[in-house]
Structure 1
Amino acid sequence: MRPITRSLQELQEDPVRLDALAWNRRGALKGAALAAMGTALGAAIPFGRHMPAGLLPAALAQGAGAPPVLRMDGKAPLLILGERPLVAETPENLLDEPVTSAANFFIRMNGQLPDPVADADGWVLTIDGEVNTPLRLTVGELRSRFPNVTMQLQMECGGNGRSQFSPATRGNQWGNGAISNAAWTGVRLKDVLAAAGLKPSARFTGHFGADPHLSGATDRDAISRGMRIEKAMDEDTLLCFAMNGAPIPNVHGAPLRMVVPGWPGSLSQKWLKRITLLAQPHTGAGMGGTSYRTPVRPIIPGSNDNGASFADMESMPVRSILSSHANGTRLPAGSRAMALRGAAWAGDDTVRTQHVSVDFGATWQEMTLAAPANRHAWQRWQGNVALPSDGYFEIWYRATDSKGRMQPHAAPNWNPQGYGANAIGRIAVLVG
């Protein structure tokens, strides 16, 4: 085999050539390819014999072009996935806090950023539709009239993991960083709905925010989603006016936002101004078709589908992150162990176990998994792994939920807008 003479950057830009150099037609590693790939990676691959057929190493799979970095007061250097609207992902290694700080909280805008509100307590929320007593309540009245609660709650974009799909789908190409676990303070939505008096016909909600449409049109909502009444009446679905003990930052929905933990983050309406109760599913922007909906039966990847037979995304799938080390971590020569940390979550369910592999999935080691701080909070995990030598390693990590569902090796259930991808995570580590 001809030796690899291209640089690492060139190989990143042409992964097809790297794949052809390394694998034969039967999907087995070519005789000299392991050494050649090691040259491309800058180190030997001690567990190379376990590499699955056709696998592109994590060190090369990221591509050569890194996303631009966000520069915003009060925010960490998030990765910008889109500028109009603003979308920014939190690198996994910035999610090493048990409670996600405002600085490290990912950003997902759908429209323009509203101007900050001078009188937060005077902000008005309307409850109408299929209720006996429509309400108009200020944030100040919400605070004083209903019991205040503070909970750690996971919030995850429905498109988290979208970049795992092949062929690529529409939408922001998230890695695993569209997740947060802040401490939210507010009132239970169920208490407010009880005060309005639900009619028997109130089976769904519709939510409206104050963020202007991206086009500037005043007769269009940037996003307006809704959910089944059962989730609205969940104990953990909150109307929030504080985040981590402080006022919610404007970019995250001040002065009032809904938090619907465990379900797609698009339901957690920011700059919340109205909730309407409906007899039929809401038809606002971001509802129906392929919006936040996935196939009930598999469709051909890459095919067009109008989503007529799809179902709304509800509880998010099991997923985990590794937060103690970044992809591309370099350790000194002679390092023989790594202390790993991360988090795992499973929508409305809990996580049963967390496992890690350092030999491309040939063997797995169970980590120590903590209980959630409260229902719908993520679970932190930690543990030590041994490295037998210097060289190139990949840390693979996967979670299994309380119903026995495990993160798959590849993103499941391909759909046009790339929802629900929760494949096993992996990072590259170079020792020496």
Structure 2
Amino acid sequence: MARKLERSVQELYRDDPERADAVAFGRRGVLKGAALATMGGAVGAAIPFAGSMPGGTLPAIFARPAAAQDTPVLRMEGKGPLILQGERPLNAETPETLLDEPVTSAANMFVRNNGGVPEVPADPRAWKITIDGEVNTPLELTVGELESRFEVVTRQLQLECGGNGRSFYAPQTRGNQWGNGAISNGEWTGVRLRDVLRAAGLKSSAVATGHYGADPHLSGEPGRPSIARGMVIDKAMAEDTLIAFRLNGQPIPHLHGAPARLVTPGWPGSLSQKWLTRVWVRDKPHDGPGMGGTSYRVPVRPIVPGSSNNGADFVDMTSMPVRSILSSHAHGSRLPAGTRSLDLRGAAWAGDQTVRAVHASVDFGATWTEMQVAAPANAHAWQRWTGRVALPSDGYYEVWYRATDSEGRMQPHQAANWNPQGYGGNPISRAAILVG
């Protein structure tokens, strides 16, 4: 007779937090007595702020696995030890502590592919990009011609996967289970897409773009695009939307889209087409692979979590939601006995908006300490933040961190607006810290 498998503690808390408290720790209401001792034994230390832990809260050390020896890691020349999310297509996430650089190095930049990686061209400057469709003069320009014909600009720009934060949704959704690390802030050099579109002469009928790249479809079918997303013409004409050919002063690494790619900052990274070969200007919203249905789209009205939906009343994701990372301390860190303060630092960003404030808490959100937030290097660059929090004793702590954007929108306590493909999940993050 088959043995019935018990649910994991994570599943218990997901399905019925109050019952999970009672089953896992014998807890009902405020954490004290035997329940406190049980939870302290489980996390491996006393819990100084146990009285502030909200009921139905699974300690972060269990809810969010710390880096372990069995965590899949990308091993590739020129890349740091990224978290391997998938091999076909290749996708890898950057741990938050590797995002401690003001400008993200190519080695620490996350990897997001939808198909295969094309062959390296013999002459990158001869790579051709076509601009056609609703234009008066279709263009076919080489990378060399782009650089010589149009103004070259350099900007620090955030590039974020539309599914960043997907792992925070319950029930689980489809796709790579990203934490917060599908983000980068590189220094991109290229030409403004709007300058190229103006040179082609936009017709009055131009309302959107469609983007194509050289990445082969995983099926191997010739000519079949892996992804072909597009954006409204206003975003295509925005100052920071670039056709880029250098990253951090060097040619873009081939894995990241060389010889040329789009960089569409603040919006889902799928609009930043790698290995760019064509920009099709259209008289209607683009309908290529990765458009329509539930692809990079979110509900207008909340739907039942876990339900199926064809996305008929969804809308395209545009500006990405506010989010923050903690880069100074890894989740699961163990610090020496007697540590009585933490000097925290990280980054925050908010799509097309800026970040107004970042706060951190070490008492399960009972009180919050405001951090210092630096101004962005330019529009669409992330903002670095720093600050200090006090610790009253040794024990188990959780650093909770949250950002608020320039419109007053704060990261929620739980991933909101559940959708089948897990876009837009940006809850307050928690990092477990053990002192002593």
Deviation at 1:426, TM superposition (A): 1.1
Say yes or no: does 1:356 pair with 2:363: no
Contact conserved, 1:15 with 1:56, CA < 8 A, in 2?
no
Distance 2:63 2:314 in 1: 31
- What's the secondary structure of 1:284's corresponding residue? coil
For 1:367-378, what aligned pairs fall within 5 Å after superposition? 367-378=371-382
Q: Could you tell me which residue of structure 2 aligns to residue 322 of structure 1?
A: 326
1:91 alignment partner, one of 83, 90, 95? 95
For 1:5-404, what aligned pairs fall within 5 Å after superposition? 19=21, 20-22=23-25, 24=27, 28-29=30-31, 31-63=33-65, 66-404=70-408
Distance 2:248 2:374 in 1: 21
Contact conserved, 1:151 with 1:374, CA < 8 A, in 2?
yes
Deviation at 1:118, TM superposition (A): 2.0
Residue type matched to 1:417 in 2? Q
For residues 113 and 390 of structure 1, do their structure 2 counterparts lie closer, same or farther at Cα, with a shift above 3 Å needed?
same
Deviation at 1:21, TM superposition (A): 2.3
Distance 1:299 1:407 in 2: 20
Deviation at 1:116, TM superposition (A): 1.2
- What's the secondary structure of 2:106's corresponding residue? coil
Deviation at 1:45, TM superposition (A): 0.3
Residue type matched to 1:284 in 2? G
TM-score normalised by the chain length of structure 2: 0.94
Contact conserved, 2:26 with 2:34, CA < 8 A, in 1?
no
Deviation at 1:244, TM superposition (A): 0.3
- What's the secondary structure of 2:321's corresponding residue? coil
Per-residue CA shift, 1:363-400, capped at 9, x if unaligned?
Answer: 00000000000000000000111100000000000000
Residue type matched to 2:343 in 1? A
Deviation at 1:14, TM superposition (A): 7.6
Distance 1:348 1:302 in 2: 30
Per-residue CA shift, 1:392-430, capped at 9, x if unaligned?
Answer: 000000000000000000001000000000000110000
1:425 alignment partner, one of 401, 425, 429? 429
Deviation at 1:219, TM superposition (A): 3.4
User: Larger deviation: 331-340 or 54-63?
Assistant: 54-63
Residue type matched to 1:62 in 2? R
Deviation at 1:83, TM superposition (A): 1.1
Per-residue CA shift, 1:263-282, capped at 9, x if unaligned?
Answer: 00000000000001001110
Deviation at 1:12, TM superposition (A): 6.9
How many pairs were matched up?
422
Distance 1:53 1:40 in 2: 17
Deviation at 1:220, TM superposition (A): 1.6
TM-score normalised by the chain length of structure 1: 0.95
Residue type matched to 1:32 in 2? A
| Superposition CA RMSD, Å | 1.6
User: Larger deviation: 296-305 or 62-71?
Assistant: 62-71
Contact conserved, 2:10 with 2:63, CA < 8 A, in 1?
no
Distance 2:234 2:175 in 1: 29
- What's the secondary structure of 2:130's corresponding residue? strand
Distance 1:207 1:101 in 2: 26
Deviation at 1:246, TM superposition (A): 0.4
Residue type matched to 1:233 in 2? M
Distance 2:105 2:298 in 1: 31
Distance 1:420 1:49 in 2: 32
- What's the secondary structure of 2:107's corresponding residue? coil
Residue type matched to 1:170 in 2? R
Distance 2:178 2:397 in 1: 24
Contact conserved, 1:11 with 1:18, CA < 8 A, in 2?
no
Residue type matched to 2:45 in 1? A
For residues 426 and 277 of structure 1, do their structure 2 counterparts lie closer, same or farther at Cα, with a shift above 3 Å needed?
same
Residue type matched to 1:345 in 2? W
Deviation at 1:18, TM superposition (A): 6.7
Structure 2: 5+ residue runs without aligned partners? 1-6, 14-18
Contact conserved, 2:157 with 2:186, CA < 8 A, in 1?
yes
Distance 1:289 1:330 in 2: 45
- What's the secondary structure of 1:153's corresponding residue? strand
Deviation at 1:93, TM superposition (A): 0.4
For residues 271 and 58 of structure 1, do their structure 2 counterparts lie closer, same or farther at Cα, with a shift above 3 Å needed?
same
Contact conserved, 1:21 with 1:33, CA < 8 A, in 2?
no
Distance 2:141 2:54 in 1: 58
Q: Could you tell me which residue of structure 1 aligns to residue 3 of structure 2?
A: none
User: Larger deviation: 140-149 or 50-59?
Assistant: 50-59
